[in-house]
Amino acid sequence: MTSMHCRVANTQRELDDALRVRWAVFGGELRLMTGRTPPSRREVSCFDTLDTTVHLVVYADRKPVATARLLLPNLEVARDAGGQLGIELEQKLDLTGIASPTRLFAETARFCVLEKWRHSEAVARLHASIYEESRRLGVTHWIAAANLDTDSVEDAHLVYRVAEHRGWLSPRWRVKVSAPGEPPATPSDPLYTSAERARARLGQLEGLRMPRAPSLFARKMGARFIAEPIYEAGFRRFTLPLIAALDEIPASTLARFKALESHVSRAA
């Protein structure tokens, strides 16, 4: 029987496990990475080695199968980039007014699970571990950008309209996109069919699909969307920015976390 557990990456090997899982998913399975394939098969960014960054890795026995990253505010990055929080999303969004002495934001990103494990306990265990570690660190809110599974401008903005129709836009938070990416003139990964787009043009949004990631964040984490879609050129996908308050996560989700008894390991 497979034993599954989650660890905070405290060693070079555990960080390497996280980066290899990220490349296997983003660069290998989903083929989202642009440019030449790196010889080391790791997906790496300059935020990965900051002392305010937390990597979580789920292991099935000894095999790393899932990972996610928490970016806490970084004063050095905020100072050098002229931002408020010093997180990666601040390169795309104007987060002026978000910061407060009573709120501690963490950016959740690089959430990925190997294909074989995407319908397993690994997904719930990773979510539970992110929650547990965030609580331990005093985080009050998550900020993230949910993958919309499309590079189509029309479809990305239709997702936004569907989210609004479902009541999933934040009544409190609203931020501006400060650095919009440049999507392809001819999209290669549409989300909706021609018939679905035609329905939307008539205002018939009921029953239109939502991509998995934003739907999961909204239903399971109580997240609400705070800006229009932004195009991530490095991953060739639109994303939808969101905020989730940890105190507002649905009770059913917290019960699921409790049932897992995550107990994130931090031992070196």
Contacts 24+ apart (CB under 8 A), 84-90: 86/52, 87/47, 87/143, 88/45, 88/47, 89/143, 89/144, 89/145, 89/241
- Tell me the per-residue pLDDT of 229-253, one tens digit each, with 9 for 90 and over: 999 998 899 999 999 999 999 999 9
Determine the Cα–Cα distance for residues 248 and 16; give it in Å rounded to an integer: 33
Pair of tokens at residue 121: 């306990």
Which of 215, 234, 208, 112 minimizes the C-alpha distance to 155? 208
DSSP state of 26: I
pTM: 0.92
- Tell me the per-residue pLDDT of 190-222, one tens digit each, with 9 for 90 and over: 999 999 999 999 999 999 999 999 999 999 999
Residue 205: how many other CB atoms lie within 10 Å: 16
Pair of tokens at residue 202: 């008539």
Domain boundaries, the chain: 4-260
Which of 25, 194, 201, 200 minimizes the C-alpha distance to 109? 25
- Tell me the per-residue pLDDT of 141-197, one tens digit each, with 9 for 90 and over: 999 999 999 999 999 999 999 999 999 999 999 999 998 889 999 999 999 999 999
Given a cut of 70, whether residue 6 has pLDDT beyond it is: yes
Residue with tokens 């090997």: 13
pLDDT for the residue numbered 186: 96
Q: Does the 4-260 domain belong in CATH 3.40.630.30?
A: yes
Determine the Cα–Cα distance for residues 218 and 169; give it in Å rounded to an integer: 10
Task: Give helix 251-260 / helix 121-137 axis angle, nearest 10°.
Answer: 100
